[in-house]
Every structure is written in C-alpha cells, then in structure tokens.
Amino acid sequence: MFNALIVEKDEEGKTSASVQSIGEDRLPDGDVTVAVEYSTVNYKDGLCIGPGGGLVRNYPHVPGIDFAGTVETSDDERYKPGDKVVLTGWRVGEAHWGGYAQKARVKADWLVPLPDGLDTRQAMAVGTAGLTAMLAVMALEDHGIKDGPVLVTGAAGGVGSVATAILANLGHKVAAVTGRPETADYLTSLGATQIVARDEINETTKRPLEGETWGGCIDAVGGDMLARLLGQMKYGASVSAVGLAGGAGLPATVIPFILRGVNLLGIDSVMQPYENRLRAWQRIAKDLPMDKLEAMVQRATLSDLPKLGKDILKGQVKGRVVVDVN
Ligand code: NDP
C-alpha cells in the first residue's frame, strides 16, 4: 500500500481531492516503477487537482505533472533499480497518473537520469517550471541575446523566479515584471536589477512600436502584456513565449516582426525530445545557483495540495513549492 492524492468526480461533475492509501495493483501500465521522493506544484497541477481544465482524461486520477525519485523496478535496459530519475511532461499527471503519490509507473522514454550535481529535492525545486525557464533561456541564446536588460514577466511565479536567477547568474541584467510589489526584495535577491510594475506594461497601446528597450524576454503571461512588449524589443531581439498566466489571446500587430526583426519563440516543455531535456537539466545543474534556488522554495506535503492547487490558479504562489510525498 502507498499514499496518493486521489481526485474523484461525482455524478454532478464536481471534483474532490483527498489523500488515500491504495494498492500497487492500481498503478497504470508502464515499464518503470519509481519510488517517488518529491513532486511540485505547477499551474497545470492546479487545474488537475481542481476542475480538470479539460486536461484530465479519466477519474479517479492522481495529478502531479512532474516528480523525482528512485527506480524500484524496470523492464527497460536504460534504467535499473536504485537509479535516480526525473520526469516532466508527456501528459503525466493529466492523461496518465502522476507524481502526487509515493509510487508512479511510467514509460521509460518519459524519464531522464538525474543530472550530476542535483539531488531529487533540488530537481523538484526546479521542476517543470524551472526546466521550462531553462529551455526559454536556451532558445534566447540560440537566437542571440541583445544588449540591454532581459525582461522576465510573471517574475515572482515559478517560471519567472528560475528564469530571473539563471539569467542573472549568466551575467545578464534582468528587468522583472510583477503585479506583487511586495516581492521586489525577493526578486532583487534572485538577481533582478530592475522591477517593472505589471500595470506599466499590461495596458494596451495603439502604438505598434515603442522605444527599443529589452535585449530579450521570457514571457510567462501572454495576452495584452506579450502584445505590448513585442513593440518594446530591441532590433533583432527575441521573446520566448512560455505561458498564459494573463491570457491566451495575442492582440498584436506584425509590425515588430517586419520592421524590427523581432523573433517570437514558442517554448513547450511537454513533448521535448530526450536529448533536449537532458541538455536543459545539465545546464540547470551548471547555471542555476543552488542558494538562489533554496530562497525560492517552500515545503509542502500531499495533504497541502488541495489548497496549493487553488492558490496557484489565483497567481498567489511565490517561487517554487517542493512536495515531499513521504
Ligand atoms: P505561477 O502561477 O507560479 O506564475 C505565474 C505568474 O504570472 C504569477 O506568479 C504572477 O506573477 C503572474 N500573473 C498571474 N496572473 C497574471 C495576470 N492576470 N496578468 C499578469 N501576470 C499575471 O505559474 P508558473 O510559473 O508555473 O507558470 C507560468 C505560466 O507558464 C503558466 O501559464 C503555465 O501554464 C505556463 N507553463 C508553460 C509551460 C510550457 O511548457 N510552455 C511549462 C510550465 C508552465 P507576478 O505576481 O510576479 O506578477
């Protein structure tokens, strides 16, 4: 028997989540069984713990879109018992049972070995949010980061916090956009050199181009904010579009693309090929200072998840949450 956060749906379509003790025979098919040590809380987890958001396929469901732990049994030659592994993406925690449990069974293809220099707790302090931040930084690097501060939106959230710390550690000036002025000291401690109030950049403008200000951008917000900041990018600069915390719309013009050569780069963490996930995890172990990571972390247990799920949907979680499932 092991503990898991089980989400059930009643006949009226209302979901409820509770920690239950269940047998291993209820685990889904897969070729690797992992003793999960840590998981975390992402925006998508908020949806899967609560309303489902069209992501959860079947109930009862175990959410948790990422986890780190130790291989218990494996039918795949790449993994053997005792190996430390990390899982992100592949619709685990949505279409498949996920990491909010003491055990998980998954496809070997979805795992990566834990990189040297990170333990399982640190890996989940990074989590999908941090992996995505690293993928976004790598995309900016591939297209060239221009002089001038790199803008990070949704900066006090999970993706934004890790992006801020990595970019600052790589020597870039970081302008952090936040709607929570009380997080300014926190963002400065992660390495932000400038705090931009959300309201300053969230309003729509009729001007398709404004002053050339930012040498790159990692955007977790989308919507009006992304539309506006495209017109503030330096000539040839790039924006990694990661999230939609502020909306899925994009009420923009093509002017920044065709007059300033601005690049809009889409970042997806879910279907990333193995080689890219491995490269990003190795870069995280090298380029994310662990003291900065610790400053972002709050600890939680399985029973804290129903509340944390609601909090993250309201944009009220600061930094990263590490869930100790044991
Ligand atoms: P968080 O909730 O931790 O962070 C989002 C942040 O966005 C908030 O902390 C807040 O930052 C800001 N924000 C919230 N609501 C609004 C709003 N209405 N307008 C403007 N800003 C707002 O989530 P994550 O960091 O985990 O994820 C961020 C986004 O990235 C989500 O949309 C998520 O779905 C997406 N994502 C995408 C992935 C991919 O593969 N592409 C992978 C992981 C996440 P502040 O208070 O500082 O303003």
Q: Same CATH fold, 128-266 and 2-114+292-324?
A: no
pLDDT value at 321 more than 90? yes
Q: Is 269 in the pocket of ligand 1 (CB under 6 A)?
A: yes
Q: Write the pLDDT tens digit of every residue in 257-272.
A: 999 999 999 999 999 9
pLDDT, residue 197, reads: 97
Q: Is 173 in the pocket of ligand 1 (CB under 6 A)?
A: no
pLDDT value at 219 more than 80? yes
Mean pLDDT taken over the chain: 96
pLDDT value at 117 more than 80? yes
CA of residue 246 to ligand 1 center, whole Å: 8
Q: What is the ipTM of this complex?
A: 0.99
Structural contact between residues 323 and 301, judged by C-beta atoms closer than 8 angstroms: yes
Q: Is 312 in the pocket of ligand 1 (CB under 6 A)?
A: yes
> Which amino acid would we find at residue 227?
A
Name the residue ranges covered by the structural domains of the chain.
Answer: 2-114+292-324, 128-266
CA of residue 317 to ligand 1 center, whole Å: 10
CA of residue 120 to ligand 1 center, whole Å: 24
Structural contact between residues 103 and 34, judged by C-beta atoms closer than 8 angstroms: yes
**Ligand 1: nearest atom to the Cα of 320:** 3
Q: Which residue's alpha carbon is at the smallest distance from atom 24 of ligand 1?
A: 158
CA of residue 32 to ligand 1 center, whole Å: 31
Q: Is 132 in the pocket of ligand 1 (CB under 6 A)?
A: yes
pLDDT value at 2 more than 90? yes
Q: Which fold has domain 128-266?
A: Rossmann fold (3.40.50)
pLDDT, residue 15, reads: 95
pLDDT, residue 52, reads: 87
pLDDT value at 203 more than 80? no
pTM for the model = 0.95
**Best mutation site among 48, 132, 201 for ligand 1 pocket (most ligand atoms within 8 Å of CB):** 132
Listed in sequence order, the residues at least 6 apart from 314 whose beta carbon sits closer than 8 Å to its beta carbon are none
The count of other CB atoms within 10 Å of the CB of residue 144 is: 12
Residue entry with tokens 């998980």: 104
pLDDT value at 315 more than 90? no
Per residue, the 3-state secondary structure of the chain, as one string, reads CEEEEEEEECCCCCEEEEEEEECHHHCCCCCEEEEEEEEECCHHHHHHHCCCCCCCCCCCECCCCEEEEEEEEECCCCCCCCCEEEEECCCECCCECCCCECEEEECHHHEEECCCCCCHHHHHHHHHHHHHHHHHHHHHHHHCCCCCCEEECCCCCHHHHHHHHHHHHCCCCEEEEECCHHHHHHHHHHCCCEEEEHHHHHCCCCCCCCCCCECEEEECCEHHHHHHHHCCECCCCEEEECCCCCECCCCCCCHHHHHHCCEEEECCCCCCCHHHHHHHHHHHHHHCCHHHHHHHEEEEEHHHHHHHHHHHHCCCCCCEEEEECC
Q: What confidence category does residue 319 fall into, taking pLDDT thresholds of 50, 70 and 90?
A: confident
> Which amino acid would we find at residue 140?
L
Q: Which residue's alpha carbon is at the smallest distance from atom 10 of ligand 1?
A: 154
CA of residue 312 to ligand 1 center, whole Å: 9
pLDDT value at 204 more than 80? no
What CATH number labels 2-114+292-324?
A: 3.90.180.10
The count of other CB atoms within 10 Å of the CB of residue 18 is: 13
CA of residue 101 to ligand 1 center, whole Å: 25
Q: What confidence category does residue 80 fall into, taking pLDDT thresholds of 50, 70 and 90?
A: very high
pLDDT, residue 206, reads: 81
Distance from C-alpha of 174 to C-alpha of 148, rounded to nearest angstrom: 9
Q: Write the pLDDT tens digit of every residue in 27-63.
A: 999 999 999 999 999 999 999 999 888 899 899 999 9
